[in-house]
C-alpha cells in the first residue's frame, strides 16, 4: 500500500510541491514512516500551501473557533484573507522559492530579476515541543541591498500538539541599528531625497497657485504673501481654502520664500526653497512667472534663477529623415 504525504513548498516554476513519502513495501516488510514535519516547514505550509485548510491546520483550536466561522470566505474573514497571500502571489506570476534549511527561508524575485525580497532566519530555537523562529526582511535592487528605515522582524512561536505544529504567537518587531554608520548614512540620504522631492513639488505648486491667483486678480497680479496665496478660509464665494501648513514658510527641512512682486499689477514673482541645513548638501529649488522649475546644489539661492539646471529637461527632438 502506497501513502503520499503532501507538504507545501513553492518551486521555482511557481508551483508548491514539497512531498514527503513512505516507501512501498511488500506485505512482509515494515514501511518506513516519513520524517516528521518541522516547525519551519509548518510555517511555509501555512502561507504557501496549496490546500484550503493548510493555514488553519496550524492554528490553535481556540483561534480557529474564535476567528474562523462556517461559511466565511477570504472576502469576509481577515484570517482567511491572510491565508491566501502566498497563493495570490503565485497566481500573479511572482517567482518564489522556499528553503527548509539554511539561513534563508524565502526569496521573492520581481521585475524580471531587478528586485528581490529575502526573508532571512535570524534564529530557529527548538526546545522540546516548542520552536521559536525569528525572521528578518531584506530588499535588494539590481543586486544591491537597499537600506530600509527599519528592518522588519517577525517572531513565530510554535508548539507541537498531536504531532502538528501550532502557531501560538506572532511578535512583530523593528530593528533599527543606530550604531551602524553605513545604515545611518543611507538613512540620511533617503531622508534628504524625500525632503527634496517634497520641496520640489511644493515650489511647483506655489508657482501654479501664483498663475491662478494672477489670472483671477488681473488688477493686482502676482502676490508675494503665502497667507494671501493660500488662504485658510475662502476670501470670496467659490474660492478654494487651504490647510494652515500650506502657508508655512518652512517645512520638510526647507525654507520657502516669495519675492519680486513689484508694481501694480505685479507682473513677476520668484519662489525659492532653500535647505535649512546649509551643510546637508541638498538641492535648492526655484521658479518664476515663466513656470520653469530649476535647481542648484551647494550654491546660493540667487544663483538658482540665473544658473540653475532644469528639473524637467525637454525630451530630445526626433531625428529628421
Task: Select from 153, 175, 197 the last residue of a domain.
Answer: 175
Q: Which of 140, 175, 210 is the last residue of a domain?
A: 175
Q: Answer yes or no: is pLDDT of 93 > 80.
A: no
Residues 6+ apart with CB under 8 A from 243: 232
Shared-domain flag, residues 209 and 232: yes
Q: What are phi and psi of 56, to 5 degrees?
A: -70, -20
Question: What is the tally of structural domains in the chain?
Answer: 2
The answer to whether residue 21 scores a pLDDT higher than 90 is no
Q: How many CB atoms lie within 10 A of CB 34?
A: 15
Q: What is the pLDDT of residues 240-282, one digit of tens each?
A: 667 777 778 888 889 999 999 999 999 999 999 999 988 878 9
- For residues 75 and 153, state if they share a domain: yes
Q: Are residues 162 and 221 in the same domain?
A: no
Query: Could you tell me which of 17, 12, 6 has the C-alpha nearest to residue 93?
Result: 12
**What CATH number does residue 220 fall under?**
3.30.540
**Per-residue model confidence (pLDDT) at position 30:** 54
Residues in the chain, total: 321
125 and 41 fall within a common domain: yes
Q: Identify which of 41-55, 68-82, 299-313 has the greatest average pLDDT.
A: 41-55
Question: Given the C-alpha cell 529649488, which residue does it identify?
Answer: 285
- Residue with more model confidence, 53 or 168: 168
pLDDT in tens, 67-91: 887 777 777 777 777 778 777 877 7
Residue 58 placed within a domain: yes
Cis status of the peptide bond prior to 265, with omega within 30 of 0: yes
Q: Residues near 259 by Cβ (< 8 Å), separated by ≥ 6?
A: 224, 269, 270, 272
Is the model more confident about 31 or about 24? 31
Q: Are residues 53 and 80 in the same domain?
A: yes
Q: Is 18's pLDDT higher than 50?
A: no
Q: Where are the beta strands (DSSP E) in the chain?
A: 4-10, 16-21, 95-98, 104-110, 115-127, 130-141, 144-145, 151-161, 164-175, 250-251, 254-259, 270-275, 283-288, 294-297, 309-310
Using the predicted structure, report yes or no on whether residue 214 has a pLDDT greater than 90: yes
Question: Which of these three, 175, 206, 229, is where a domain ends?
Answer: 175
Q: What is the pLDDT of residue 8?
A: 33
CA 51 – CA 184 distance, rounded (Å): 44
Domain presence at residue 110? yes
pTM higher than 0.95, yes or no? no
Same domain, 219 and 132: no
144 shares its domain with 109: yes
pLDDT score at 31 = 64
Question: Which range of residues forms the domain containing residue 127?
Answer: 4-175
Amino acid at each position: 500500500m502506497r501513502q503520499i504525504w503532501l507538504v507545501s513548498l513553492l518551486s521555482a516554476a511557481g508551483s508548491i510541491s514539497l512531498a514527503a513519502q513512505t516507501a512501498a513495501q511488500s506485505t512482509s516488510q515494515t514501511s518506513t514512516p516519513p520524517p516528521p514535519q518541522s516547525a519551519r516547514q509548518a510555517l511555509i505550509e501555512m502561507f504557501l500551501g496549496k490546500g484550503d485548510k493548510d493555514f488553519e491546520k496550524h492554528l490553535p483550536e481556540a483561534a480557529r473557533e474564535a476567528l474562523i466561522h462556517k461559511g466565511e470566505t477570504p472576502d469576509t474573514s481577515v484570517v482567511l484573507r491572510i491565508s491566501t497571500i502566498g497563493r495570490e502571489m503565485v497566481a500573479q506570476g511572482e517567482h518564489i522559492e522556499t528553503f527548509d534549511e539554511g539561513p534563508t527561508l524565502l526569496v521573492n524575485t520581481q521585475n524580471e530579476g531587478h528586485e528581490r525580497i529575502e526573508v532571512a532566519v535570524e534564529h530557529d530555537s527548538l526546545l522540546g515541543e516548542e520552536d521559536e523562529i525569528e525572521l528578518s526582511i531584506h530588499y535588494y535592487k539590481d543586486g544591491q541591498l537597499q537600506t530600509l528605515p527599519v528592518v522588519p522582524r517577525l517572531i513565530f512561536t510554535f508548539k507541537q500538539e498531536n504531532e502538528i505544529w501550532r502557531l501560538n504567537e506572532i511578535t512583530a518587531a523593528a530593528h533599527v541599528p543606530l550604531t551602524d554608520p553605513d545604515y545611518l548614512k543611507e538613512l540620511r540620504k533617503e531622508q534628504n531625497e524625500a525632503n527634496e522631492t517634497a520641496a520640489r513639488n511644493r515650489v511647483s505648486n506655489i508657482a501654479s497657485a501664483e498663475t491662478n491667483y494672477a489670472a483671477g486678480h488681473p488688477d493686482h497680479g502676482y502676490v508675494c504673501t503665502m497667507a494671501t496665496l493660500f488662504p485658510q478660509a475662502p476670501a470670496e464665494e467659490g474660492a478654494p481654502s487651504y490647510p494652515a501648513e500650506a502657508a508655512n514658510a518652512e517645512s520638510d527641512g526647507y525654507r520657502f520664500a516669495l519675492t519680486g512682486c513689484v508694481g501694480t499689477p505685479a507682473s513677476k514673482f520668484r519662489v525659492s526653497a532653500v535647505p535649512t541645513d546649509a551643510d546637508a548638501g541638498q538641492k535648492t529649488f526655484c521658479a518664476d512667472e515663466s513656470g520653469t522649475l530649476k535647481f542648484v546644489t551647494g550654491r546660493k539661492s540667487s544663483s538658482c534663477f540665473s544658473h540653475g539646471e532644469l528639473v524637467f529637461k525637454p525630451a530630445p527632438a526626433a531625428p529628421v529623415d
